[in-house]
Amino acid sequence: MHVLFVIDPLPLLKAYKDSSVAMMQALVARGHTLSVALQGDLFIDEGVVLARATPIELVADADLHEHDWWRDTAPAADVALKSFGAVVMRKDPPFDMEYVYSTHLLEYAQAQGAKVFNGGAAIRNHPEKLAITELAEYTAPTLVTRDIPRLKAFHQRHGDVIVKPLDGMGGTGIFRLQAADPNLNAILETLTDNGARTIMAQRYIPEIVKGDKRVLIIGGEPVPFSLARIPLAGETRGNLAAGGRGVAQPLSERDLELARAVAAKTAGRGLLLIGLDVIGDYITEINVTSPTCFVEITEQTGFNVADMFAHALERAAG
């Protein structure tokens, strides 16, 4: 099978810990071939969705801390997405309008016969923070609004809350507002752009000190280990990008319950890979753009997450 990765520029990837690179390695180990394209390489010509795609191969025994872990095997060429055995969308956020346009192109490509994972409409219709509202019984009290008085009332009701933008990633823009916080007004005014931008507020979950767990669901099945991203001392964000420390651990019964609930709710929607963020007993986000933590879980547990993904991709692509 020839697999196209729509991805960020390869020289910018930290290949030694990048989940997309781990996926590529697992696919190559199973005899598949690879091409790559950037988001900007997607286009429509006379109704057909194509990509300016470059065939690549992985360099055996390459040092993944360096930039020579792959090489081109042929010049880039314009190829219809439906010609690939599978298209894997792994472009990282930000989820801006260019990303939205890409999801439309991917959706159109699927209508033409392309097999895209995660699917264009699936990504677009599952905003990663808002998607939890479909499973409110598994979330902490949550408010989504741009109305500052309403946000203040939520804060007063719960006393200790987290507020965050809907389009952030890696822990950016996340604030904890405790009771009588002197910066309450300034933070809410800044995050909402004085009431012009919708944000999310959630009751603070004290179990964050034990980690913000990444629970992966691949092909409807939970990966048996999570990665608990434990915050630095005095920090409220466990994200690895914010300095959190990743510790792999077996899924708890509650983790399994949450993962199975999400898998059941999203079945049939074109989401091959989902990454839940779980704090304590609650889901805080449902990530569908480019969920990570494959390498950390594999290195610490020996469970090959990327190989599980490759198997699932083979089954889904037929």
Q: State which amino acid sits at residue 286.
A: I
Q: Give CA angle at 10 (31, 6), nearest 5°.
A: 65
Instruction: Considering the candidates 17, 128, 229, 296, report the single residue annotated as catalytic.
Output: 229
302, containing H or E segment = none
CB atoms within 10 A of CB 256: 14
Please report the pLDDT score of residue 178 as a whole number. Answer: 95
- CA pair distance 62, 68, nearest whole angstrom: 7
Tokens at residue 228, please? 């608990």
Whether the Cβ atoms of residue 204 and residue 158 lie closer than 8 Å to each other: yes
Instruction: Considering the candidates 18, 167, 255, 277, report the single residue annotated as catalytic.
Output: 277
Q: Which residues pair with 217 in a beta bridge?
A: 222, 274
CATH architecture, domain 2-120? 3-Layer(aba) Sandwich (3.40)
Specify whether 237 is catalytic. yes
Instruction: Considering the candidates 237, 239, 255, 307, report the single residue annotated as catalytic.
Output: 237
State the residue for tokens 């946000």. 151
Please report the pLDDT score of residue 235 as a whole number. Answer: 59
Distance of CA 182 to the CA centre of its chain: 34
Please report the pLDDT score of residue 238 as a whole number. Answer: 55
Specify whether 150 is catalytic. no
- Return the half-sphere exposure (C-beta side, CA atoms, 13 A cut-off) of residue 16: 6
- CA pair distance 242, 263, nearest whole angstrom: 28
Instruction: Considering the candidates 91, 129, 203, 213, report the single residue annotated as catalytic.
Output: 129
Specify whether 239 is catalytic. no
Specify whether 164 is catalytic. yes
Distance of CA 296 to the CA centre of its chain: 15
Specify whether 41 is catalytic. no
Distance of CA 284 to the CA centre of its chain: 13
- CA pair distance 235, 249, nearest whole angstrom: 21
Instruction: Considering the candidates 164, 203, 212, 307, report the single residue annotated as catalytic.
Output: 164
Q: Would you say the C-alpha torsion 64, 30, 271, 265 has a positive or negative sign?
A: negative
Specify whether 30 is catalytic. no
Q: Would you say the C-alpha torsion 69, 72, 76, 79 has a positive or negative sign?
A: negative
Q: pTM of this prediction?
A: 0.93
Specify whether 197 is catalytic. no
Distance of CA 272 to the CA centre of its chain: 12
Q: Give CA angle at 310 (19, 256), nearest 5°.
A: 75
Rounded average pLDDT per 10-residue block, the chain, 318 residues: 98 97 98 98 98 97 94 98 98 91 98 98 94 96 97 97 88 90 96 97 94 96 96 62 82 98 97 97 96 97 98 97
Please report the pLDDT score of residue 151 as a whole number. Answer: 98
Please report the pLDDT score of residue 191 as a whole number. Answer: 97
Whether the Cβ atoms of residue 126 and residue 274 lie closer than 8 Å to each other: no
Please report the pLDDT score of residue 172 as a whole number. Answer: 83
- CA pair distance 206, 63, nearest whole angstrom: 40
Distance of CA 154 to the CA centre of its chain: 28
Specify whether 17 is catalytic. no
Instruction: Considering the candidates 107, 212, 255, 285, report the single residue annotated as catalytic.
Output: 285
Instruction: Considering the candidates 107, 128, 287, 296, report the single residue annotated as catalytic.
Output: 287
Cis status of the peptide bond prior to 11, with omega within 30 of 0: no
Instruction: Considering the candidates 214, 239, 296, 307, report the single residue annotated as catalytic.
Output: 214
Please report the pLDDT score of residue 242 as a whole number. Answer: 54
| Three-state DSSP class for residue 275 | strand
Please report the pLDDT score of residue 236 as a whole number. Answer: 60
What is 141-204's CATH superfamily?
ATP-grasp fold, A domain (3.30.1490.20)
Please report the pLDDT score of residue 124 as a whole number. Answer: 96
- CA pair distance 62, 316, nearest whole angstrom: 30
The secondary structure of the chain in percent helix, strand, coil, rounded to multiples of 5, reads 35, 30, 35
- Return the half-sphere exposure (C-beta side, CA atoms, 13 A cut-off) of residue 17: 8
What kind of fold does domain 208-312 have according to CATH?
D-amino Acid Aminotransferase; Chain A, domain 1 (3.30.470)
- Going from N- to C-terminal start, the domains of the chain cover 2-120, 141-204, 208-312
